[in-house]
Amino acid sequence: MPVPHAPQTARAQLAALAATSEDRRRSVPAGDASFAPLLDLPVAPDSRPAAVLILFGVLDATPSERAAADTAVSRDLDVLLLARAATLRSHPGQVAFPGGRVDPGDDGPVAAALREAQEETGLDPAGVEVLGALETIPLAFSRHLVTPVLGWWRRPSPVRVVDEGESADVFRAPVADLLSPANRGVTVLRNGGREMRGPAFHVGRGPEAHLVWGFTAMVLDVLFDRLGWTEPWDATRELPLELPPA
């Protein structure tokens, strides 16, 4: 039986998670947190601060065709994502959260996440309720320390590709679709006898289909676990990964 006002139930859970993360940053030793698999990633020298906006809400009028196992996840609950342009030097073609480097003029990671999201997707930051920031995650490959900022879209505004040199697509992904075991698996990067495995999600269909992998998929995977939304899925199932030419 559906829970009344399920989107607001999800919002309350996200807000509680953000508050818990704030408490952890103040009182828990580094690495001793439920984000530990990501917090334990190596930190590159001279890493620069960055921030991403993880924006949830009822973002459009196209709900998921499936019901999630957790009743807090309604069919119309979405998360905002974008696909990076294939011509970019860093992470070309990958699906990502809106975000980027914290500039000197930004008042911290929250301001940076909102500014970057506006620049990349055209959203109106005034319609975003900031729920809080999660623990900072090191990304040695790109030499960044990334702070995920949880947001709720209380007053949605149109989104689009603002700069085709930066993004190929901006889209809303139904959370119920991301949680579907049929859309989950792992990607495997093999290099010199070594394997790097990570969670991945299929989203969309046909020409609008995307594979979410890498940093974005790792954050979603841990986030869904922490919220209690994860449904049992096959962690041995490999999803094909097509990388752009080097």
Q: What is the pLDDT of residue 159?
A: 94
Q: What is the pLDDT of residue 2?
A: 44
Cα dihedral 101, 107, 110, 116 sign: negative
Of 157, 107, 97, 148, the C-alpha closest to 127 is 157
Task: List per-residue pLDDT tens for the chain, 246 residues long.
Answer: 344 456 779 999 999 999 987 766 655 544 445 565 666 666 667 889 999 999 999 877 788 999 999 999 999 999 999 998 877 766 677 899 999 999 999 999 999 999 999 999 999 999 999 999 999 998 877 788 999 999 999 999 999 999 988 899 999 999 999 999 999 999 998 877 788 899 999 998 877 799 999 999 999 999 999 999 999 999 999 999 887 665
Q: What is the pLDDT of residue 34?
A: 54
* Distance separating alpha carbons of residues 102 and 226, to the nearest angstrom: 26
* Distance separating alpha carbons of residues 78 and 64, to the nearest angstrom: 9
* Distance separating alpha carbons of residues 211 and 93, to the nearest angstrom: 10
Q: How many residues does the chain have?
A: 246
Q: What is the largest CA-CA distance in the chain?
A: 52
Q: What is the pLDDT of residue 1?
A: 39
* Distance separating alpha carbons of residues 207 and 190, to the nearest angstrom: 27
For tokens 């939304």, name the residue: 229
* Distance separating alpha carbons of residues 229 and 212, to the nearest angstrom: 18
Domains in the chain and their CATH numbers?
6-175 (3.90.79.10)
* Distance separating alpha carbons of residues 219 and 97, to the nearest angstrom: 10
Q: What is the pLDDT of residue 169?
A: 93
Q: What is the pLDDT of residue 144?
A: 85
